[in-house]
Amino acid sequence: MKDFIINSIGILLILVIVPGGLLYFAVHMPGESFTGMSPELNEEQQLLAENLSGHVLKLAEEIGERHHELPAALEAAANYIENNFIQTGYQPYLEVFGEKQQFRNIVAELYGNASADEIIVVGAHYDTVWMTPGADDNASGVAGMLEIARLLKDRNFNRSIRFVAFANEEDPLYFTVNMGSLYHAKRARDHGENIVAMLSLEMLGYYSDVKGSQLYPRPLSWFYPDKAKFIAFIGNLPSHSLLYDTIGLFRKHTHFPSEGLAAPEAIIPDVRRSDHSAFWSVGYPALMVTDTAGFRNPGYHNVGDVPRTLDYEKMARVVDGLGKVIAALADQE
CA-to-CA separations, 248 to 14, 147, 258, 284, 325, in angstroms, rounded: 24, 22, 10, 20, 9
Return mean pLDDT, the chain.
93
* SS3 of residue 29 by DSSP: coil
What pLDDT, on the 0 to 100 scale, is given for residue 267?
83
Please say whether the beta carbons of 136 and 144 come within 8 A: no
The pLDDT tens digits of the residues spanning 209-268 come to: 999 999 998 888 889 999 999 999 999 999 999 999 999 999 999 999 999 999 888 888
**From CA 41, how far away is CA 313, in angstroms rounded?**
8
Of 261, 146, 270, 263, the C-alpha closest to 217 is 270
Q: What is the pTM of this model?
A: 0.93
Q: Reduced to 3 DSSP states, what percent helix, strand and coil does the chain have, rounded to the nearest 5?
A: 45, 15, 40
Please classify residue 166 by burial: count the beta carbons closer than 10 Å to its beta carbon, then call 0-12 exposed, 13-18 middle and 19+ buried: buried
Quick check: 134 and 169 in contact, CB under 8 A? no
Q: What does the pLDDT read at residue 197? A: 98
pLDDT of 22: 62
pLDDT digits (tens, 9 = 90+) for 87-129: 999 999 999 999 999 999 999 999 999 999 999 999 999 999 9
Distance of CA 162 to the CA centre of its chain: 14
Task: For residue range 50-91, list pLDDT tens digits in order.
Answer: 999 999 999 999 999 999 999 999 999 999 999 999 999 999
Q: Is pLDDT at 19 greater than 90 in this prediction?
A: no
- Split at pLDDT 50, 70, 90, the class of 8 is very low
